[in-house]
Structure 1
Amino acid sequence: MSDFRQSIDIDCRPEDVWAYVSDLSHLPEWQESAVASEPLDAAPVGVGSRVRVTRHFGRRNIPMTMQFTEYEPPRAWSLEGIDGPVRTHVHGEITPLDQGRRSRVTVEVGFDGRGIGKVLVPLVVRPQVRKELPRNEMHLKDRLEHAPA
């Protein structure tokens, strides 16, 4: 179940969008709360691969481990949080437009709170994501459409 769903059209081929979003080292470039991202497993990335993402929520930087549960280049990916009080569920899809010259990127995000996370999700996490998700997609669009050749 997702709490938020946001789509944006990008003037970029699906393969190029995939190359950028699937390289999680780019997260801090286009996601406002992402402070850092590091792979926890050797390449290549695929279902089961893990990544530690550090996000800024409220006044704190919080590391969380995410695991790929879907990885279908250049079309779809899903990540599930596997530790911490707030478990994030992310699903992304890239849909070709105009015979593959453009792309629609759709991101769905949901949360499960555990322990103190049951309080944090409605008070801190959801309000921040509600504001941030549309801006993140605009950052993604800007990065991809105005990338140096």
Structure 2
Amino acid sequence: MKVDVLTEAVIAAPCERVADYAADPSHAPEWYANIASVEWRTPPPMTVGSKVAFIARFLGRPLAYTYEITAYEPRRRLVMRTAEGPFPMQTTYTWEPHGEAADHTRMTLRNHGEPSGFASLGTTVMATAMRRAQRKDLAALKALLEHRT
């Protein structure tokens, strides 16, 4: 069974600031509660084909996976898919100016894929946990960027 979770937030910061920060995997442990560490497998900066390894914790279990960047339009869209890991997953970020003065950013975070192994046994539970985690992560990103000078 497939999992598809889409979350969004409006952040009171310009699009270029939000996108530049969120698209840099090195910042992930600062706003993703479940990500403990990040290691570039290919040299930065981010380009299509770049690979980044993550160590995370999800549903109480350690999780190690490597994402490959499959699409990157700076300050607009970033798509990453599992290159190595327990199950195929794709994560997509989008950013667009929001508000009359375009001084806010609407960011979406979408994870979709088809879990296997232990994760396939409870896709409904997994989707609920992912949705909860994504909301918390975007709230953390929002708080971080709105209070940063």
Matched residue, 2:112 = 110
- State the one-letter code of the partner of 2:126: V
**Which residue type is aligned with residue 20 of structure 1?**
Y
CA apart distance, 1:75 = 0.6
SS in 2 for 1:38: strand
Give the distance between the partners of 2:58 and 2:134, measured in 1 at CA: 14
Deviation sequence 1:18-64 (CA, Å, 0-9, x none): 11111111111111111111111012211110000111023332110
Residue number in structure 2 paired with 1:138: 139
Which letter does structure 1 place at the counterpart of 2:32?
Answer: Q
2:64 corresponds to 1:29: no
**Equivalent in the alignment of 1:56:** 57
Residues 69-127 of structure 1 show CA distances to partners (whole Å, capped at 9, x for unaligned) of 111011110000122222221111101123431110011111222344433x6276333
State the distance in 1 between where 2:21 and 2:127 align: 26
Q: Percent identity?
A: 26
The total of aligned residue pairs comes to: 147
Local SS of the residue matching 1:51: strand
The answer for the alignment partner of 2:13 in structure 1 is 12
Distance in 2 (CA, whole Å) between partners of 1:2 and 1:113 is: 7
| Cα-Cα RMSD | 1.9
Query: Is there any run of 5+ residues in structure 2 with no aligned partner, and where?
Result: none
Q: 5+ unaligned residues in a row in structure 1: which ranges?
A: none
SS for the counterpart of 1:47 is coil
Where has structure 1 moved over 6 Å in runs of 4 or more? none
For residue 2 of structure 1, report the CA deviation from its aligned partner.
6.1
Alignment of 1:76-115 (within 5 A): 76-97=77-98, 98-115=100-117
3-state secondary structure, aligned to 1:3: strand
Amino acid at match of 1:107: L
Q: Distance in 2 between matches of 1:36 and 1:125?
A: 22
For the structure 1 residues 38 and 125, does the alpha-carbon distance in structure 2 shift closer, same or farther, using more than 3 Å as the test?
A: farther
